[in-house]
DNA sequence: AAACGTAAGACGTCCGACGTTTGATGTCCA
DNA sequence: TGGACATCAAACGTCGGACGTCTTACGTTT
């Protein structure tokens, strides 16, 4: 056990693997928006040429990013950008086809916290956008347009998360959407689930306008609780 | 637009990529505990032999799992299991070195929700374990043992998350630990942060024992809020 | 105009080779 | 005897080429 003096200049020379370097290059392109979601990235031969690495190295990098959900590889066609964040893939894989109840409970926690923070931080622009989402939500409910209702409802909730001023919270919330939507679609097909009370959200918005974090948190929690109660309680009725 | 009749027998024949199959095999071994965290997995040549695939295929799979943080590849040595869940890596990569405040706000939301759920679901065994963690926490505080305090404090909070009966919530909470610890260590070194009021947790435990979700949620939120206030408010003092 | 056949592009997999790093083993000398 | 050194095998890193299969686009035929 020789005591090693801490000498930054004598740290081990570490050279990251080439494939890791390629991963970073690709991720940077995606994060910067150079390769937007849905676009096709250059084919492997071109990446080989431009990065000056062997095909196996390129493939290892692409495969890694595809596994995390950032890329989607279509054999015979090409490789496409699927998402900007890697969180979604992890959450999806962790909870693919899992309990809707658990997802909703997590959402409730994030929802309440986002509401509390948004009550303290949201600016008027954000509040107006939330009001607009609620108008569209109500209109879709009246018209019986389920898709439009889902979209508007999500716009509202996601808007609250964005208005929380917490990027991590917003990111977590957004990435919960995929699994949530899947689970909800399944619940809808098996139990006729069609959404919650269209009134409660108004009181949440009111609490946000009044800068009342505690009340906003209560209202947000109440909204999702209603949805969950509906799903668990009356969810088995159908015909 | 020819309408396609839904015929399960005529669905497209899809064969998943071999490397994806290898990924699943390895992940299954890790998830099942066959290959515990810290152990070394069989070298590439043996995986080739046992899985009957080419080395490139094995490498693509290993590289993908390494990128998500499940495996750690040490050149010249071997490949080791680094974690059981892929969430940790994603969260770390997403918020490595990010705002301590944002992490704490997310934790607060999860904490409060976990407390609410635990108040309704925790059994006596779990409650006793929480009480024990609090005892250790208090003792460490008295003794000025910072490491022991951190451990006991985390045991308590994580215990609440586990007692919530929501596996997703618990998983999210546990995987927040890494980035949180890193950010806290940084805050501690720059501002002398040393932990929050050691009293509040007792009232949370009391609320859990009384099966009072609302009160438990309030207490949990209050605990972390205190910590954040300390960090943001008095965090700049030091000498 | 619709159906078919064809060809090019792109990813999937395999094989073999060599380099670099690491850890362990063995050896030599003080 | 014990420590420092040299050596070697194992394991990962990278490269290059080859062939198969799938997807798409395009031209041809009917």
Q: Give the domain ranges of chain B.
A: 16-84, 88-234
Residue A110 neighbours by CB distance under 10 Å: 26
CB A179 within 8 A of CB A69: no
Task: Chain A: give the shortest CA distance to residue B159, in Å.
Answer: 17
When the pLDDT of each residue in chain A is averaged and rounded to a whole number, the result is 82
| Res A225: pLDDT | 58
Cβ–Cβ below 8 Å for B87 and A91: yes
- Quote the CA–CA distance of A80 and A35 in Å, as a whole number: 9
Architecture field, domain A89-234: Up-down Bundle (1.20)
Low-confidence ranges of chain B (pLDDT < 70): 1-10, 12, 95-98, 188, 190-199, 223-239
- A105 in contact with B at a CB cutoff of 8 Å? yes
The pLDDT value recorded for residue A48 is 95
**CB < 7 Å to strand C — which of 26-85 in chain A?**
41, 43-45, 55-56, 59, 63, 73-79
Is the C-beta atom of B14 closer than 7 angstroms to strand C?
A: no
Whether A166 contacts B100, CB under 8 Å: no
Residue closest to B181 by CA, chosen among B96, B120, B122: B96
In the structure encoding, which two tokens stand for residue A17, read together? 């693997």
CATH code for residues B16-84: 1.10.10.10
Split chain A (239 residues) into runs of 10 and give each run's mean pLDDT: 52 79 95 94 96 96 95 95 83 70 89 92 91 91 84 91 91 84 74 59 86 82 58 36
Pairwise CA distance, residues B148 & B185, whole Å: 15
Tokens representing residue B93 in the block: 């990569």
> What is the model's pLDDT at position B210?
85
Chain D positions with an atom below 7 A of a protein C-beta are: 10-18, 20-24
Q: Which of residues 100-119 of A touch strand C (CB under 7 A)?
A: none
**DSSP-assigned letters across all residues of A77-116:** TEEEE--S-SHHHHHHHHSTT--HHHHHHHHHHHHHHHHH
Q: Hey, are the CB atoms on B106 and A169 less than 8 Å from each other?
A: yes
Q: Answer yes or no: do B110 and A112 touch at CB < 8 A.
A: no
The listed CATH number (1.10.357.10, 1.20.120.530, 3.40.50.300, 1.10.287.370) that belongs to domain B88-234: 1.20.120.530
What pLDDT score does B7 carry?
A: 61
């Amino acid at each position: 056990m020789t005591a090693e003096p801490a000498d930054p200049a004598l740290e081990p020379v570490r050279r990251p693997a080439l494939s890791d370097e390629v991963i970073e290059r690709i991720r940077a392109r995606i994060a910067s928006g150079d390769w937007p979601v849905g676009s096709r990235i250059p084919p492997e031969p071109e990446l080989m040429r431009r990065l000056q690495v062997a095909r196996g190295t390129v493939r290892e990098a692409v495969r890694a990013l595809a596994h995390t959900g950032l890329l989607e590889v279509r054999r015979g066609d090409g490789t496409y950008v699927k998402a900007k964040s890697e969180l979604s893939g992890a959450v999806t894989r962790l909870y693919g086809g899992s309990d809707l109840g658990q997802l909703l409970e997590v959402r409730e926690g994030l929802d309440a916290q986002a509401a509390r923070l948004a009550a303290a931080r949201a600016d008027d622009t954000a509040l107006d956008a939330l009001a607009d989402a609620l108008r569209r939500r109500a209109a879709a409910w009246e018209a019986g347009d389920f898709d439009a209702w889902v979209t508007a409802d999500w716009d509202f909730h996601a808007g609250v998360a964005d208005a929380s001023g917490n990027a991590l919270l917003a990111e977590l919330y957004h990435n919960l959407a995929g699994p949530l939507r899947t689970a909800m679609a399944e619940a809808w097909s098996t139990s006729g689930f069609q959404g919650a009370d269209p009134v409660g959200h108004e009181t949440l918005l009111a609490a946000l306008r009044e800068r009342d974090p505690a009340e906003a948190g209560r209202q947000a929690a109440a909204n999702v609780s209603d949805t969950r109660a509906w799903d668990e309680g009356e969810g088995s009725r159908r015909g």
